[in-house]
Structure 1
Amino acid sequence: MSELDDKKVAAIKEITQELYPDMVVFAQKLVQTPSISGTEKALADLDLAEMQKLGYDEVFRDAHGNVVGLVKGTEPGPTIMYNSHMDHVSPGDAANWQGYDPYGGQIDVCKVDTQDKQPDEAECIHGRGASDVKCGEAVQIYTGGLLVKLREKGFPLKGTFMFTGVVQEEPAEMVGMLHLVDKTLPRKGLSYDAMVTSEATSLKLYCGHRGRVEMLITVYGRTSHGSAPWLGINAIYKAIPLITRIKDELYPSLPTDPELGQASLSLNIIECSPGALSIVPDRCMLSLDRRTLPGETAATAIAQIQEIIDDLAGKDPEFKADVVVKGALETSYTGLTYETSKDMSPWKISKEHGFVKAAAAALESVGQTVKYGYWDFGTDASKTCGIDRKPTLGYSPMQEQYAHTPYDKCRTDFMKTALEGNAAIYLNATAQGPEAFEKVEW
């Protein structure tokens, strides 16, 4: 299924060798630039400037602060979006970084988790966001630069390469991606046929993840003085049988998917109100993290909790509670504010889908061993595949186990491999017929 001949593969490898040093330096700059969610402007500026330097045909920033770069082919064809998020989580206590500056972008040879029979030491870039997702972001941006150089050498290119860097992925409401896809692209007369995300995959092809719904249960009581608790209804005590049934009955009954694993539910925050030592609380708030599988929705997850609430209320006239999907108000660095719900869709794509088969064949053509995987965490692919049902996969040099940790790093040799792989995926996928871009079903 590979359309990449020896001449094109040789050109990919030659240009990769040429671009590799500058790509690593650019990745260091990204790591050295703080970009916690809502503060991504400096990083966006770097991305735009680098794409211009690499010869992209068009680059722009949208109203929400996302950045877009286009490399246009010499022939008509599909548009493949290569997507990275520009924000990162807090580095936490710098003392946990074992001598590395979280924003240092330092390069050294260090111990790494091995893959197959590879050496247990490799050159790495260190710092917050190196594995989530700044090194993958650098690789994707340089993939566009590689395609520009291929075009300059006279190789035909089909379709359009689109790099998108989105804001505010880490809060897990997808506001940057939603604005980009639903508003920016239509306004620009643009669309996309498939997406490759740079979220960490260790050079494997990742084909899905569970969804995520954040739920808030409020259990109601009645205040009284702490010295006379019998005069009130303690909301914390009323919450105990609900918590027990969620843990002992609901969680074990959740479904399992052969690829994505078990749906899950975790009670992560308990709060009460008024929250004073001498007052019996009249509210107990439970925040739950519910991971969903294809076929499940926020509505079905809410209904499961509501069923338990209704049953408890039928048995105890003093029991009163409700459950909702949590909401959030997110403001981007441009000042644009979104009110959104904390609901991310599950998704998966078959290894037999035309887009995945084209990607696998492409990696094989440049000498890479093809392996597959699925994320434990969520990504903005919940929009592209979970909602839009566009063919989507993950391919990245970064390793999932380092994300959000004080050991955050990325192997530079994996970055070089990923640059070749990204270019090969684009070239081979755009050479395929419509079957490579069919709507994803599960």
Structure 2
Amino acid sequence: MSEITMKLKEISESLNDEAIAFAQKLIQTPSISGNERDVADLLIAEMEKLGYDQVFRDDMGNVVGIVEGSKEGPTIMYNSHLDHVSPGDANNWEGYNPYGGEIDICAVDDQDGNSDQAECIHGRAASDVKGGEAAQVYAGAVLLKLKEEGYDFKGNYMFTGVVQEEPAEMVGMVHLIDQTFKEKGLTYDAMVSSEATSLKLYCGHRGRVEMLATVYGRTSHGSAPWLGINAIYKSMPLIAKIKDELYPSLPEDEHLGQASLSLNIIECSPGALSIVPDKCMLSIDRRTIPGESAETALKEIEGLIEEIAAEDDEFKADVKVKSAVETSYMGREYEVDKEMYPWKISENHPFLQAAASALEELGEPVKYGYWDFGTDASKTAGIDKKPTIGYSPMQEQYAHTPYDKVRTDFLKRAMVGNAAIYLKVVEAGEEAFEELEW
């Protein structure tokens, strides 16, 4: 083990208790999407206390902290989101307060999902993403102490906490990169996400497109349905084609799995018992793989609509990508399409290999994986094509559940792991920051 690796472990061990206490504070601070101000304040105060070289909040409410190396070099963004989903019914939490941040020894899974016992912090967002967030903030603290002790390293360690990730429109991340970074003259060369990975290195995920197909009819009185055209009935052939023809034909990626499609909401209008509906709206969740896009997904549904219309003169329908208006706690408003991009990084990419080498030097097992869900990496990797990975102490199976928790031993390992990854990748050379291809 090298001298600097030994020093990293020594410094990290000295900060373990503080990092765990900070994770508790984060969990004890509610921050449902659109209401992240208190947790943003907490993060800013903590990074200022730790001595980050730059700390600021942008006009969207995103939080940024930067640890500056002593030499010029790449900027690695370590990213978490500030928001979390509702805790739901508190009665389902089996004695834990969703915002309690209690610590105890409990049944939990190990790195490979096998049954184990470990010390855990309980509460909403412990596994999505406040456990990982604490590990990232305190990895910066490790680097600060390393610098204080006279060790030189290059580049910039940049922590970013973004708003409104959970609604899945990337609005906080897009504003941060496309607006805030440009205004402040900042750039980034690669990103490490804190989304749950069980200490594995995650290499990608499918994209997501939310579509709305509307089938049209004509109203009549419910007592005389023959005078109208029932939009619900007219939607049935489209539903059947989506389920029986389109879904089974979707392509598959060797790493990310099969593209998928799910019809999740059906609504009708006017929606009164005595009126034959003249609109039936189908909300479709489409998961895409590299090579697919919102445009290709729309064309698939449009093709089915054309097939049915060719056989039924009364059939009329259209489809579009859904949109939403998101307003941040700072009052900044965006209307955004509900689309997230698929992406992956090759396990042979120099950035990923440098990260793996860093973990190996710590004595950590190196394993790879891919997320089932989407993340804000759809912006950094899917759009910007920057090298992106996931590395986190949190475990995916506990996210959004009333069993939400994070292992304290994993949090400690992730803190030193994040710092080691940073030091290794900034020395990896220009090839480590080559644009992603798939």
Q: TM-score category by the smaller chain?
A: over 0.9
CA–CA distance in structure 2, aligned partners of residues 107 and 414 of structure 1 = 14
Equivalent pairs counted in the alignment come to: 438
> After superposition, where does 1:280-299 map in structure 2 within 5 Å?
280-299=276-295
**2:426 is equivalent to residue 419 of structure 1:** no
CA–CA distance in structure 2, aligned partners of residues 274 and 173 of structure 1 = 29
CA–CA distance in structure 2, aligned partners of residues 377 and 357 of structure 1 = 24
State the Cα deviation string for residues 254-300 of structure 1 (Å, max 9, x = none). Answer: 00000000000000000000111110000000000000000000000
**2:175 is equivalent to residue 179 of structure 1:** yes
Which residue of 4, 11, 18 corresponds with 2:14?
Answer: 18
CA–CA distance in structure 1, aligned partners of residues 304 and 252 of structure 2 = 21
CA–CA distance in structure 2, aligned partners of residues 207 and 197 of structure 1 = 10
Paired residue secondary structure (2:66): strand
For 1:401, the equivalent position in structure 2 comes to 397
State the Cα deviation string for residues 13-61 of structure 1 (Å, max 9, x = none). Answer: 1111111101000000000000000000000000000001111000000
Shift of 1:120: 1.0
Paired residue secondary structure (1:148): helix
**2:368 is equivalent to residue 372 of structure 1:** yes
Whether the 8 Å contact between 2:215 and 2:235 is mirrored in structure 1 is: yes
CA–CA distance in structure 1, aligned partners of residues 260 and 236 of structure 2 = 20
For 1:273, the equivalent position in structure 2 comes to 269
Paired residue secondary structure (2:348): coil
CA–CA distance in structure 1, aligned partners of residues 55 and 386 of structure 2 = 23
For 2:213, the equivalent position in structure 1 comes to 217
Shift of 1:116: 4.9
Aligned in 2, Cα 1:119/1:298: closer, same or farther, shift over 3 Å?
closer
Which residue of 81, 104, 124 corresponds with 2:77?
Answer: 81
Residue type at the aligned position of 1:262: Q
Which residue of 224, 227, 241 corresponds with 2:223?
Answer: 227
Shift of 1:117: 9.6
> After superposition, where does 1:282-431 map in structure 2 within 5 Å?
282-431=278-427
For 2:434, the equivalent position in structure 1 comes to 438
CA–CA distance in structure 1, aligned partners of residues 289 and 142 of structure 2 = 37
CA–CA distance in structure 2, aligned partners of residues 178 and 386 of structure 1 = 12
Paired residue secondary structure (1:112): strand
Residue type at the aligned position of 2:436: V
Shift of 1:413: 0.2
Shift of 1:192: 0.2
Shift of 1:115: 3.2
CA–CA distance in structure 1, aligned partners of residues 113 and 382 of structure 2 = 35
Paired residue secondary structure (1:23): helix
Aligned in 2, Cα 1:404/1:48: closer, same or farther, shift over 3 Å?
same
Paired residue secondary structure (1:321): strand
Which residue of 48, 53, 57 corresponds with 1:52?
Answer: 48
Shift of 1:118: 7.4
What is the percent sequence identity of the aligned residues?
A: 71
Whether the 8 Å contact between 2:111 and 2:199 is mirrored in structure 1 is: no
Whether the 8 Å contact between 2:11 and 2:142 is mirrored in structure 1 is: yes
Residue type at the aligned position of 1:217: A
CA–CA distance in structure 2, aligned partners of residues 283 and 427 of structure 1 = 57
CA–CA distance in structure 2, aligned partners of residues 187 and 139 of structure 1 = 28
* TM-score normalized with structure 2 length: 0.99
**2:155 is equivalent to residue 159 of structure 1:** yes
CA–CA distance in structure 2, aligned partners of residues 333 and 63 of structure 1 = 10
**2:240 is equivalent to residue 240 of structure 1:** no
Which residue of 187, 192, 199 corresponds with 2:195?
Answer: 199
CA–CA distance in structure 1, aligned partners of residues 179 and 108 of structure 2 = 41
For 1:43, the equivalent position in structure 2 comes to 39
Unaligned ranges ≥5, structure 1: none
State the Cα deviation string for residues 204-228 of structure 1 (Å, max 9, x = none). Answer: 0000000000000000000000000
Residue type at the aligned position of 1:439: E
State the Cα deviation string for residues 81-111 of structure 1 (Å, max 9, x = none). Answer: 0000000000000010001000000100000
CA–CA distance in structure 2, aligned partners of residues 20 and 367 of structure 1 = 18
Residue type at the aligned position of 2:69: G
CA–CA distance in structure 2, aligned partners of residues 16 and 74 of structure 1 = 20
For 2:142, the equivalent position in structure 1 comes to 146
> After superposition, where does 1:68-147 map in structure 2 within 5 Å?
68-116=64-112, 120-147=116-143
Residue type at the aligned position of 1:395: Y
Which residue of 26, 33, 54 corresponds with 1:30?
Answer: 26
Paired residue secondary structure (1:393): strand
Residue type at the aligned position of 1:376: D
CA–CA distance in structure 1, aligned partners of residues 60 and 112 of structure 2 = 42
Whether the 8 Å contact between 2:109 and 2:115 is mirrored in structure 1 is: no
CA–CA distance in structure 1, aligned partners of residues 296 and 199 of structure 2 = 35
Paired residue secondary structure (2:109): coil
Shift of 1:114: 2.8
Residue type at the aligned position of 1:13: K
CA–CA distance in structure 2, aligned partners of residues 174 and 76 of structure 1 = 30
CA–CA distance in structure 2, aligned partners of residues 118 and 340 of structure 1 = 40
Residue type at the aligned position of 2:285: D
Output the aligned Cα RMSD. Answer: 0.9
Shift of 1:174: 0.4
* TM-score normalized with structure 1 length: 0.98
**Structure 1 segments (4+ residues) deviating >2 Å:** 114-119
